[in-house]
Homo-oligomer: A and B are copies of this chain.
Amino acid sequence: MNNAFKALSDPTRRRVLELLKQGPLSAGELAGQFEVSKSTMSAHFAILREAGLVASEKHGKSVVYHLQISVLEDALLGFARLFGWEMTAKPDATGVPDDRKETGI
Interface residues of A (CB under 8 A from B): 2, 5-6, 8-9, 11, 14, 17-18, 21, 69, 72-73, 76, 79-80, 82-90, 92-94
Contact = CB atoms under 8 A, between A and B. Distances in A.
B82 A90 contact: no
Contacts of A72: 83
Nearest to A92: B84
Contacts of A89: 84-86
Contact of A84 (B5, B9, B85, B93): B93
A65 to B, nearest CB: 16
B79 A83 contact: no
Contacts of A84: 21, 89-90, 92-94
